[in-house]
Structure 1
Amino acid sequence: MSSSCSHLLSALKECLLQSDCVLKQGHLPSECLREHTNELPESCKALRQATFECKRGMLDMRKRFRGNNVDLPPPPPKAQEQTAPASA
């Protein structure tokens, strides 16, 4: 898969793993996507739709030269290491 959709796919995986369908009901994430979509939270449904649109955009020949225009949420901030200045 192209790297343009990888951020959405990882966000969808995290959302599924934290949903009640997986945690409380014990279903597999793939089962939740296929059979229990009504039980998923709205954020997972939106990520599922965005992932679908991203994958469809990769096949669109009109976007071949311009690239896949994906509205990605900003990546999570990395932990910044705070270093104390060394005294001379």
Structure 2
Amino acid sequence: MSSSCSVLLGALKACLLESDCVQKQGRLPSECLKHHTDELPEACQNLRKATYECKRNMLDMRKRFRGNTVGMDGEKKEKLM
């Protein structure tokens, strides 16, 4: 996977491992992502959406030319544009 999405993916993994779905209910992180997304904390849901957008933007030719900016903070985005 591209390095532009690796930070988001790592944060999503950490968030899933700390969630109640995995910790208290003993489910696998993949099961929580696929079938129990409504039980995940809002931070994990936001990271899931950001990871999806990052992967999706890797296929978009306009984003490929400009670079993937999903998950970047405001200062980095302004420097690129």
Same fold (TM over 0.5): yes
Partners of 2:55 and 2:6 in 1: CA distance: 10
Tell me, yes or no, if structure 1 residue 65 matches structure 2 residue 65: yes
CA distance in 2, matches of 1:67, 1:52: 16
Q: Percent of aligned positions with the same letter in both sequences?
A: 74
> Between Structure 1 and Structure 2, which shows a larger proportion of helix residues?
2
2:40 partner amino acid: L
Q: Give the letter aligned to residue 59 of structure 2.
A: L
Give the 5 Å matches for 1:75-86: none
Contact 1:12 1:48 in 2 (8 A): yes
Which of these two proteins has the greater Rg computed from alpha carbons? 1
Report matched runs for 1:5-84 at 5 Å: 5-72=5-72
Distance 1:24 1:34 in 2: 18
Gaps of 5+ in 2: 74-81
RMSD: 1.0
- Check whether the contact 1:7–1:72 (CA below 8 A) recurs between aligned residues: no
Q: What's the secondary structure of 1:64's corresponding residue?
A: helix
Is the Cα contact below 8 Å between 1:17 and 1:23 reproduced in 2? yes
Name the TM-score, length of structure 1 as normaliser.
0.79
Give the count of matched residue pairs.
Answer: 73
Which runs of 5 or more residues in structure 1 are unaligned?
74-88
Q: Report the Cα distance in structure 2 between the residues aligned to 1:66 and 1:3, rounded to whole angstroms.
A: 15
